[in-house]
Structure 1
Amino acid sequence: MIYLDYAATTPISDNALHVFNEVSKNYYGNPNSLHDIGTSSKAVLEHCREELAKLVDAPSNGIYFTSGGTESNILAVKTLLRANKRKGKHIITTAMEHSSLYNFFKQLEYEQGYSVSYLAIDKFGQVAIDQLKEIISNDTILASIQHANSELGTIQQLEDIGEILHHNGVFFHSDCVQTFGKIPVNINQLKIDSLSISSHKIYGPKGVGAVYLNPSISWSSDFNNSNQEKGFRAGTVNVAGIAGFVTAAQDICKNIEFEQKRLSNLREYFISKINDLEFKMEIINSKSQLPNIIGILLNRTQGDYAMLEFNRAGIAISTGSACSLGDQQPSRSVMELGKSEAEAKRFIRISLGKSTSQGDIDKAIDICKKVSNNL
C-alpha cells in the first residue's frame, strides 16, 4: 500500500527502533533510582535532553519529556497559565489549533471562567496580525498559536507574533508538532516561550514527546510530590522511548534542507499535474506552506467517499486531522478559510514523507481523476 498520510503518523525508522531496543535491554533502570542501574539510565536521559536542546537551539534545562504532542500542549499551557495567573484570565488563540488545545481552551472558558479570543485568519490561513494588536489587553496572559496547521500546511509568522506578544508581556506557546523536522525550529528566532513536539511525527516511537519551556519563567508543579522531570509531569520516564525519539530527531534534522526541497518539488509536481488536467478540485495554498501537506477541496465529491476510493486503490490518505476524525465534523481549519460546512466536508489531505516517490504521486493523481469524474 502507498502511504500518503505522514501528517497523521510515521513508521518508526530502523535507526530509532534499533536504539529503542538497545536502550530497553541495557538501560532499563528508573532514572530516579540511586543505584548504578538507575544512574546509567539517568545519564542516557540527560544526554538525550542535551541533544534535543541543540536541535531547537535551546538550553537543555528547558527541555521536558512527555508522552506525546497532546500532553505536551496541555502541560505547557497549564504551566504558563499558572506562572502568569496574577495578571489576568485572558487567552488568545485560533480556531485552527490542534483538537487537544482547542478543546482545552473551550473547557477553560466554560469551567474556569477564562476569556478566550480566537483570531481571524485570511484566505491563506494566516492569522490577522492587526487584530492581535487590538485584542491584547492588560489581563492577557497567554497566546497559543500553532506553528503550522496539520490540515492546510499553513505556516504562521511566529517571529512577528512573538515580537508583539513579548512587547506586551504575554507568554507565547506554539504547537510545533507538524513543523519540527520539516522546517527549522529555532527557539530564539521564533520568539516563543514554550513549544510542543512529538516523536511519532518524525519516525520515532509513539508515546513520546517533549516541551521546551523558557527556564527564566518561574513556575510551580501541577503534580504534588512528583520528582519526575522536575515535577513537570508525573510517571516513570520512558528512557528507551526518549532515546528512540531523539535519535529520530537527529536523523531527520540532518537531512532537513534536502528533504524540504524534495518534498516541495513533489508537491509542486502534484499541483502542476492537477492544474494541467483541469480536475474539479481546489488545492489549498498559503503564502508560507509546509512542503509535505497538500490540502484539497473536491468540487462535489465527499471527502470520506474519496478516501475510500483511494483506499480501494491501495493508497492511504485522510480527510483531515486524525485526532478529530471520530466526531465526523467538517474541518474547523477549512471553515476558518471562509468555506461552508458543505465545502469543508469535501476536504481531503495528502501528506508526503521520506518514502514518497514521484510514482506514488502519479498514482494518487490517477485516483484524483477517477474521483473527480465519478461525481
Structure 2
Amino acid sequence: MIYMDYAATTPMSKEALETYTKAAERYFGNEQSLHDIGGTASSLLQSCRQTFAAMIGGKEQGVFFTSGGSESNYLAIQSLLNTRNGTHIITTPIEHASIRNYFRLLQKQGYEITEIPVDRFGMIQLEILERSITKQTVLASIQHGNSEIGTLQPIAEIGAILQKYNVLFHTDCVQSFGKMPIDVEKMNIDSLSVSAHKIYGPKGVGACYINPQVRWGEVFPGTSHERGFRPGTVNVPGVASFITAAQHILQNRQEEMGRLQELRTYFIKQLQALSPEIQIEGHSISCLPHIIGVTIKGIEGQYTMLECNRRGIAISTGSACQIGKQEPSKTMLAIGKEHDEAKQYVRFSLGQQTTTEHIDAAIHAIATVRNQFNRGVNRT
C-alpha cells in the first residue's frame, strides 16, 4: 500500500528504533531515583534536553518532555494562565482540536475567547490580531503550520506584536518542527509544542518549551517530575528516540524539504491537469511542502478516501484527531467553504518514502474515482 498520510503520523526511522532499543536496555532506570541507575537515566535525559533546546534556539531550563503535542498544548496554556490575571485569550478557528476543545472548557470557566478570522488561504491578518488585543488579553495561541492545508503563519511578526502588548504567545509547532526553521528567541515565542511521531519518532512522546524568563504555575500541585510541569515517570528511552529522530530529520531538512517541494509542485500540476473541479487549498507560497489539501467538487472526501484506500492509496479526510465525527473540516469552514463543500476535502501528505511513482498512482486513483463517481451520477 502507498502511504500518503504522513501528517497524521510517520513510521519510526531505523535510527530512532535503534536508539529506543539501546536506551531501554541501558537507561531503564527512573531518572528521579537517587541510585546510579537512576543517575545514568537522568544524565541521558539532561543531554536530550540540551540537544532539543539547541534545535529551537532556546534554553535547556525551558524544555519539558511530555506524552505528545496535545498534552504539551494543554500544559503550556494552563501553566501560563496560572500566573496571569487576564481573562481574554486570542486564537484562530483553525487550531488543532486539542487547543479548540481546551478553549471551550476555559470559556465555561469564565475566559473570553476571540477567534480572529483567516482568509481563504488560511492566513490571519496582523492588523486584525493587533486590534483584537485588549487590556484583559493574557495569551494568544496561534499555530505555526496548519495540519489540513499546510498554511504557515508569520510567527515572528505575530510574536513581535504580542510582545509589544505583553501578551504571552503559545504556538503549536507539531506539523512544522523538523520541516521549517524555528528559533524561539528570533520568533518571539514564549511557548511551543512538538510531537515525536510526526518526525519519524515514537508515539507517546513530545516536548513543550516555555521561555525560562516567563513564569508558569503547576497544573498538578505536588508533581515532582519534569520540575513539577507534569506527573508521571519520564519515558527516557522514548525521549532519546525522539531526539535521535529529530537530529536525523534536521540534518537532512534542507535537502528533504526541497525534494518534497518538487513532489508537491509535480502533484499539484497533475491534479490541476486532471480537472478544473479539483481545488488546491491553502497558501501557495507560505505553506508546508508536505501537505496538499484538496477539494473535489461534488464528491465527499470520505468517499474519495475510501475509494483510494480500495486502490492501495492511504490518504486522509483531515486531522486524525477529528476523523470519525462525520463533521466537515473546521479549517475548510474557516476559509469560507459551505458545509457541503467542506465535506469534499481530502488531504495528501508526503514523506521520506514518497516517490514520483507514488504520486502518479495517486493521480490515477483520483481519476478513476472521479470517472466512477460521474458515471454513477449520470446513470441516475
TM bucket (normalised to shorter chain) is over 0.9
Q: Is the 8 A contact 1:202 1:249 kept in 2?
A: yes
Of stretches 122-131 and 25-34 in structure 1, the one that deviates more from structure 2 is: 122-131
Residue 15 (structure 2) aligns with? 15
- The AA in structure 1 aligned to 2:52 is L
Is 1:364 the equivalent of 2:362?
A: yes
Aligned pairs for 1:106-185 (under 5 A) are 106-110=104-108, 112-185=109-182
Residue 93 (structure 1) aligns with? 91
Q: Is the 8 A contact 1:153 1:289 kept in 2?
A: yes
Is 1:56 the equivalent of 2:53?
A: no
Q: Is the 8 A contact 1:66 1:208 kept in 2?
A: yes
- SS of the residue corresponding to residue 241 of structure 2 reads helix
Distance 1:273 1:135 in 2: 41
Q: Is the 8 A contact 1:16 1:244 kept in 2?
A: yes
- SS of the residue corresponding to residue 10 of structure 1 reads coil
Of stretches 60-69 and 284-293 in structure 1, the one that deviates more from structure 2 is: 284-293
- SS of the residue corresponding to residue 349 of structure 1 reads strand
- The AA in structure 1 aligned to 2:87 is K
Q: Is the 8 A contact 2:152 2:286 kept in 1?
A: yes
Residue 331 (structure 1) aligns with? 329
TM value normalised by structure 2: 0.97
Compute the RMSD of aligned alpha carbons.
Answer: 0.9
Distance 1:218 1:158 in 2: 21
Aligned pairs for 1:289-300 (under 5 A) are 289-300=287-298
Q: Is the 8 A contact 1:7 1:150 kept in 2?
A: yes
Task: Note the residue ranges of structure 2 that are not aligned, 5 or more in a row.
Answer: 374-380
Q: Extract structure 1 runs of 4+ deviating beyond 3 A.
A: none
Distance 1:290 1:238 in 2: 30
Distance 2:244 2:18 in 1: 10
Report the CA distance between 1:280 and its aligned residue: 2.4
Distance 1:116 1:131 in 2: 15
Report the CA distance between 1:36 and its aligned residue: 0.4
- SS of the residue corresponding to residue 324 of structure 2 reads helix
| TM-superposition CA deviations, 1:256-279 (whole Å, max 9, x none) | 101111001000001111222335
| TM-superposition CA deviations, 1:69-104 (whole Å, max 9, x none) | 1000000000111122x2x10000011000000010
Select which of 270, 285, 288 maps to 2:286.
288
Residue 373 (structure 1) aligns with? 371
- The AA in structure 1 aligned to 2:313 is I
Select which of 317, 320, 336 maps to 2:318.
320
Of stretches 179-188 and 27-36 in structure 1, the one that deviates more from structure 2 is: 179-188
Q: Give the aligned length.
A: 372
Q: Is the 8 A contact 1:301 1:371 kept in 2?
A: no
Residue 38 (structure 2) aligns with? 38
Residue 274 (structure 2) aligns with? 277
Q: Is the 8 A contact 1:83 1:217 kept in 2?
A: no
| TM-superposition CA deviations, 1:170-201 (whole Å, max 9, x none) | 00000000000111111122211000000000
- SS of the residue corresponding to residue 326 of structure 1 reads coil
Residue 79 (structure 1) aligns with? 79
| TM-superposition CA deviations, 1:148-175 (whole Å, max 9, x none) | 1100100000111111110000000000
- SS of the residue corresponding to residue 104 of structure 1 reads helix
- SS of the residue corresponding to residue 141 of structure 1 reads strand
- SS of the residue corresponding to residue 353 of structure 1 reads coil
TM value normalised by structure 1: 0.98
- The AA in structure 1 aligned to 2:232 is G
Distance 2:8 2:216 in 1: 32
- The AA in structure 1 aligned to 2:49 is R
Compared CA separation, residues 46 and 122, structure 1 to 2 (3 A): same
Distance 2:215 2:40 in 1: 30
Of stretches 283-292 and 341-350 in structure 1, the one that deviates more from structure 2 is: 283-292
Distance 1:104 1:303 in 2: 27
Task: Note the residue ranges of structure 1 that are not aligned, 5 or more in a row.
Answer: none
Aligned pairs for 1:213-228 (under 5 A) are 213-228=210-225
- SS of the residue corresponding to residue 190 of structure 1 reads coil
Q: Is the 8 A contact 2:144 2:152 kept in 1?
A: yes
Q: Is the 8 A contact 1:281 1:372 kept in 2?
A: no
- SS of the residue corresponding to residue 122 of structure 1 reads coil
